[in-house]
Amino acid sequence: MYSFKNDYSEGAHLRILNALIETNLEQDEGYGEDRYSQKAKEFIKDKLGRPDVDIHFISGGTQTNLIAISAFLRPHEAAIAVSSGHILGHETGAIEATGHKILSVEGRDGKLSPTDIQEVLDGHPDEHMVKPKLVYISNSTEIGSIYSKQELQSLHDFCQKNQLILYMDGARLGSALCSEENDLQLSDLPALLDAFYIGGTKNGALLGEALVISTKSLKEDFRYHIKQKGALLAKGRLMGIQFLELFRDDLFFDLAIHANKTAGMLREELKILNIELLTHSPTNQVFPILPNSVITVLQNKFSFHIWEKVDSDTSGIRLVTSWATKEEEVVSFIEELRSLLT
């Protein structure tokens, strides 16, 4: 059974595994102070064009969101997130467990706009309620949509005007930046965001995310927060080595391009079969609406998530491709689907 459930079913790109093996018996500093982590940070800063940012390697996305958001907020402050946001639905209340409320907004296409945020500010006018302070967005979003440069600029300007922190979850940032519809560059992000992370777990690494902090006031004592939350790994070099390989050249982007390409193959074939999609997603997630009877048979050969029920006879499923998705498996899925529909 081939899996289209997620983009982390496979291990890691062979170059990363080889680098880990080749450096395995070398001795180095712990807790991310090793030469590989430092060199990886230099490479990322060079790609960002911003030597002044702080970069921290953290093992996973939920842990990164938890540490960053709880560190950035004072006890009475809250985060704003779209209703489909990862911190709302798929992180087991991690943010709330640190004492911070998440204020949910419906948004549109999985994205927030200044109008959405203004509604939250208007509804929280005084000290009898939590104070909205941080705006959480994802790129790409939970439903595969992406932010344009203008959309991100508008959010940035609004947050600056209202003294809000703009934070971006970048678990699938590679896929977003490599989308054919994208007009953002990695180097645009430090000027538009107070903090964001570059996802490695879902883009060819064994594990790890690179948190980038652009705003000076958020940088102070951040390693204390990482340590207190149990994320300052003694063998931090394991993440440094991986990000060194991802950003030594364009491997990070090459892997995201492959994920998007295989998702594009799915979309093209679904279009030919006149299959409607739940949402417009130009990244590595595809959401076709299929008859429930067809879904049941497909599940005998392929694994995927049933995303939502559309009506009594049909449901939307989520197909996710990865840096390692085999093109022949995409072809096999489409052939099976075609045979069931005809």
% pLDDT > 90, the chain: 99
**How do residues 62-75 score in pLDDT, each as one tens digit?**
999 999 999 999 99
**How do residues 91-114 score in pLDDT, each as one tens digit?**
999 999 999 999 999 999 999 999
Q: What is the pLDDT of residue 324?
A: 98
Spatial contact of 124 and 132, defined as CB atoms under 8 Å apart: yes
**How do residues 121-166 score in pLDDT, each as one tens digit?**
999 999 999 999 999 999 999 999 999 999 999 999 999 999 999 9
The pTM for the full model equals 0.97
Spatial contact of 196 and 212, defined as CB atoms under 8 Å apart: yes
Q: What is the pLDDT of residue 94?
A: 97
**How do residues 199-245 score in pLDDT, each as one tens digit?**
999 999 999 999 999 999 999 999 999 999 999 999 999 999 999 99
Tokens of 341: 């529909």
Q: What is the pLDDT of residue 263?
A: 98
Tokens of 5: 């459930």
Q: Residues with Cβ < 8 Å from 256, sequence gap 6 or more?
A: 174, 175, 177, 178, 203, 284, 323
Mean pLDDT across the chain, nearest whole number?
97
Measured CA to CA, the distance from residue 116 to residue 102 in angstroms comes to: 14
Q: Which residues of 139-174 are buried (b: 16+ CB within 10 A; e: fewer)?
A: bbbbbbbbbeeebbebbbebbeeeebbbbbbbbbbb
Q: Which domains are delineated in the chain? A: 2-6+252-341 (3.90.1150.10), 14-249 (3.40.640.10)
% pLDDT > 70, the chain: 100
Q: Tokens 């990244």 map to which residue?
A: 283
Tokens of 234: 């003694």
The pLDDT of residue 253 is above 90: yes
The pLDDT of residue 342 is above 90: no
